[in-house]
């Protein structure tokens, strides 16, 4: 990491941003580009990458969080009875996939629905574009997303990440994806030395065992940041109501509330406006299939 933890005596509170969180220990980068290893007072916790905080230095390179800024967004996934916050105040989500190994369309749709709930932009990145045929197949699977306006960017992170860099400019973007999609290669291309930074932060926090299991925020420039997340194998939406999941599919929005029955499951009910739109070709069959699968998994019909 190019910047060293601040060596400063206790002083007045300073404003900063959480860039790494390990249990109840947080690495805060202050507005003066100094680093503080922070804890919270009492039993307060639950901070995540991107949280704005006010921290009071307590010694060289150490501090305590005194206050937390109101969040503009909270991107998270959730299993029943357990929320798993990922990043606060992000503006965009980029889901990283690849033609090889195969990726889960359902996970992509779930992550985008979570982003839509927080009014965040979303895009999909197809990595390993040098694998021509697998990339073509991946693009075909993502065609329903492109058709409704989502950006789908193909690139080879080992060769050139500039197409993605342009899409990240001015945003705070959460990078998510399954293991094996090459997300780490993308991060290292965007942030040269990211591995070294991770090791140094681990040493700074004495938390080496956590370095691959927690999110980490990197500033690309004064206006642009990315939040790197560990590889995911699932993306639960237990924190969303059924209506929220439906709203996470933007092409459904003109038809929601127009069904004959207020508790319509959009499966076989007469007078279902969503089914009528699907039959008319306004909702892609694969999107409809995965919507119903997600709804049944997260909010089974009574």
Closest CA to 229 of 13, 3, 20: 20
pLDDT tens for residues 177-212?
999 999 999 999 999 877 645 555 555 555 444 344
Residue 9, pLDDT > 60, answer no
Alpha-carbon span 302 to 296, nearest angstrom? 10
Q: What pLDDT does residue 149 have?
A: 97
Measured CA distances, 24 to 89, 197, 230 (Å):
19, 20, 18
Q: What is the mean pLDDT of residues 71-90?
A: 95
Average pLDDT, the chain: 90
- Which domains occur in the chain, in start order? 14-68 (2.40.50.140), 74-228 (3.40.50.300), 242-298 (1.10.40.50)
Q: How many CB atoms lie within 10 A of CB 82?
A: 10
Counting residues of the chain whose pLDDT is more than 90, the rounded percentage is: 82
Q: How confident is the model at residue 302 (pLDDT cuts 50, 70, 90)?
A: low
Counting residues of the chain whose pLDDT is more than 70, the rounded percentage is: 89
Q: What pLDDT does residue 199 have?
A: 54
Lowest mean pLDDT among 1-10, 171-180, 258-267: 1-10
Q: What pLDDT does residue 65 have?
A: 95
Q: What pLDDT does residue 299 have?
A: 75
Q: What pLDDT does residue 204 have?
A: 58
Q: What is the mean pLDDT of residues 13-25?
A: 92
- Number of residues written out for the chain: 302
Alpha-carbon span 302 to 297, nearest angstrom? 13
Which tokens go with 223?
């206006």
Q: What pLDDT does residue 212 have?
A: 43
Q: What pLDDT does residue 194 have?
A: 75
Q: How many CB atoms lie within 10 A of CB 240?
A: 23
Q: What is the mean pLDDT of residues 261-283?
A: 96
Q: What pLDDT does residue 209 have?
A: 44
Higher per-residue pLDDT: 161 or 1: 161
Q: What is the mean pLDDT of residues 167-186?
A: 95
Closest CA to 215 of 153, 185, 173, 165: 173
């Amino acid at each position: 990491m190019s910047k060293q933890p601040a060596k400063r005596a206790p002083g007045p509170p300073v404003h900063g941003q959480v860039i790494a969180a390990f249990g109840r220990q947080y690495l805060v980068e202050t507005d003066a580009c100094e680093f503080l290893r922070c804890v919270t007072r009492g039993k307060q916790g639950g901070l995540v990458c991107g949280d704005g905080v006010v921290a009071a230095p307590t010694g060289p390179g150490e501090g305590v969080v005194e206050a937390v800024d109101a969040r503009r967004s909270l991107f998270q996934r959730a299993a029943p009875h357990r929320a798993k916050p990922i990043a606060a105040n992000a503006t965009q989500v980029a889901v990283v996939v690849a033609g090889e190994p195969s990726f889960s369309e359902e996970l992509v749709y779930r992550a985008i629905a979570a982003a839509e709930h927080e009014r965040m932009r979303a895009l999909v990145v197809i990595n390993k574009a040098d694998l021509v045929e697998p990339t073509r197949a991946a693009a075909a699977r993502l065609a329903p997303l492109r058709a409704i306006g989502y950006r789908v960017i193909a690139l080879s992170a080992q060769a050139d990440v500039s197409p993605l860099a342009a899409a990240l400019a001015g945003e705070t973007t959460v990078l998510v994806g399954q293991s094996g999609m090459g997300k780490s290669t993308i991060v290292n291309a965007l942030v040269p030395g990211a591995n070294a930074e991770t090791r140094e932060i681990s040493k700074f926090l004495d938390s080496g065992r956590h370095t691959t299991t927690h999110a980490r925020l990197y500033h690309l420039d004064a206006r642009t940041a990315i939040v790197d997340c560990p590889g995911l194998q699932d993306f639960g939406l237990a924190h969303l109501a059924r209506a929220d999941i439906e709203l996470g599919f933007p092409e459904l929005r003109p038809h929601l509330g127009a069904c004959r029955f207020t508790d319509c499951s959009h499966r076989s009910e007469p007078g279902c406006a969503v089914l009528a739109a699907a039959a008319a070709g306004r909702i892609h069959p694969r999107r409809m299939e995965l919507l119903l699968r997600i709804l049944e998994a997260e909010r089974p019909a009574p």
